[in-house]
């Protein structure tokens, strides 16, 4: 049975990344920004990284590539019933 549920995309406050937080090398001003999507059967969360906190926020707010990637496993629709991607 196909079940539809509303998705809520949460863009969290960006933060400075310290070397202890990640397993890759970071520069002094590297920023991170957490993106959470509520509404899928499983929890979805990822962190977007940028050269600074502003870039991390900008990259996190551009959810189109993320939704495109998730559309390989899910059919996404607007509330009107039209497909999000053709």
Bridge partners for 79 per DSSP: none
Q: What pLDDT is stored for residue 2 in this prediction?
A: 72
Percentage, residues of the chain above pLDDT 90: 81
Q: What pLDDT is stored for residue 9 in this prediction?
A: 96
Length of the chain: 86
Tell me which residue of 42, 51, 36, 26 sits closest to 74, measured CA to CA. 42
Instruction: Quickly state the pLDDT bin for 67 (edges 50, 70, 90).
Output: very high
Q: What pLDDT is stored for residue 1 in this prediction?
A: 46
Bridge partners for 83 per DSSP: 77
- The backbone torsions φ and ψ at residue 83, rounded to the nearest 5 degrees and listed phi first, read -65, 140
State the average pLDDT for the chain: 93
């Amino acid at each position: 049975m196909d079940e539809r549920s509303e998705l809520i995309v949460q863009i969290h406050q960006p933060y400075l990344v310290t070397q202890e937080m990640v397993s890759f090398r970071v520069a002094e001003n590297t920023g991170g920004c957490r993106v959470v999507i509520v509404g899928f059967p499983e929890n979805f969360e990822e962190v977007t990284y940028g050269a600074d906190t502003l870039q991390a926020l900008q990259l996190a707010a551009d959810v189109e590539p993320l939704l495109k990637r998730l559309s390989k496993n899910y059919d996404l629709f607007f509330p009107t019933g039209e497909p999000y991607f053709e």
